């Protein structure tokens, strides 16, 4: 494979990818953390229903005997209110079933704690000063890898030569100056170059030790140290 892009250009492209992944991760966290607290539709319906009955009673008490209120209209409205109330009750029961399903997923997920998990993520998890990713490459392919901190500052850059098939890369938790950085979740970018020298993103997977299973809203989350991903991001589990 012909590579015309320099290592410097590859790492710069990887830095840009890492910064973009950081923005995406922050956006996802912000969205999940600003979920509005839902109102209680059944309680609101009950209040409206009581108010309707009070208005009905008042109107009946004050109706003109020579021009009585049309009972068919009130009967129709009562039937409509009853139908809505039944639907809300059904939705409430469905919500309870979803809650039970989530609890079941958490209990099942507890068996994953302590095992090595491979997940889809835009961040690498640094645990005990070690972080690992895998990606698929071709023999001799030059791949740039960059890691940035929570503020988007460049932490670590490297270029590796891939082998054919699945490649594993491990970060030892140090920055470009050899200083150790704290364990945590860090945005990472992985790039290569086409035959024309154009940098392109390389899909990668993140490997880490499962430390917990929690729920966030209606989503069951898998924790790998400081990194939390939805259970749907799980690609595989190995011993531990």
CA distance 169 to 143: 11
CA distance 95 to 108: 20
The arithmetic mean of pLDDT across residues 78-83, rounded, is: 66
CA distance 41 to 13: 50
Using a pLDDT cut of 90, give the percent of the chain over it.
Answer: 40
More confident residue, 30 or 225: 225
The arithmetic mean of pLDDT across residues 32-58, rounded, is: 59
Residue keyed to tokens 């791949």 = 143
More confident residue, 201 or 216: 201
- Report the candidate in 232, 225, 216 with the shortest Cα–Cα distance to residue 119: 232
pLDDT at 34: 47
pLDDT at 231: 84
What is the per-residue DSSP string for 83-96? Answer: HHHHHHHHHHHHHH
CATH code assigned to 7-30+112-238 = 2.60.40.4070
CA distance 18 to 74: 63
Q: What is the mean pLDDT of the chain?
A: 79
For helices 41-61 and 71-109, the axis angle rounded to 10 degrees is 170
pLDDT at 3: 34
More confident residue, 67 or 179: 179
More confident residue, 97 or 20: 20
CA distance 184 to 227: 7
Domain spans in the chain, listed from the N-terminal domain onward: 7-30+112-238, 41-111
The arithmetic mean of pLDDT across residues 162-168, rounded, is: 95
Structure tokens at 109: 């997920």
pLDDT at 113: 84
């Amino acid at each position: 494979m012909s590579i015309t892009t320099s290592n410097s250009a590859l790492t710069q492209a990887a830095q840009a990818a890492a910064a973009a992944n950081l923005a995406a991760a922050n956006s996802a966290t912000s969205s999940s953390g600003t979920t509005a607290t839902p109102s209680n539709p059944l309680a609101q319906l009950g209040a409206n229903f009581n108010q309707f009955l009070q208005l009905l009673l008042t109107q009946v008490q004050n109706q003109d005997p020579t021009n009585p209120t049309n009972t068919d209209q009130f009967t129709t409205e009562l039937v409509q209110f009853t139908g809505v109330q039944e639907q809300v009750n059904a939705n409430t029961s469905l919500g309870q079933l979803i809650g039970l399903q989530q609890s079941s997923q958490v209990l099942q997920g507890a068996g994953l704690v302590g095992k090595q998990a491979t997940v889809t993520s835009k961040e690498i998890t640094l645990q005990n000063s070690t972080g690992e990713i895998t990606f698929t490459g071709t023999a001799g392919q030059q791949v740039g890898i960059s890691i940035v901190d929570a503020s988007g500052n460049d932490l670590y850059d490297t270029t590796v030569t891939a082998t054919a098939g699945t490649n594993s890369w491990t970060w030892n938790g140090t920055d470009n100056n050899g200083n150790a950085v704290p364990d945590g979740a860090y945005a990472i970018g992985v790039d290569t170059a086409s035959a024309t020298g154009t940098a392109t993103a390389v899909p990668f997977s993140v490997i880490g030790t499962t430390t917990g299973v929690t729920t966030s809203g209606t989503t069951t989350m898998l924790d790998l140290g400081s990194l939390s991903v939805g259970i749907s991001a799980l690609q595989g589990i190995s011993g531990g």
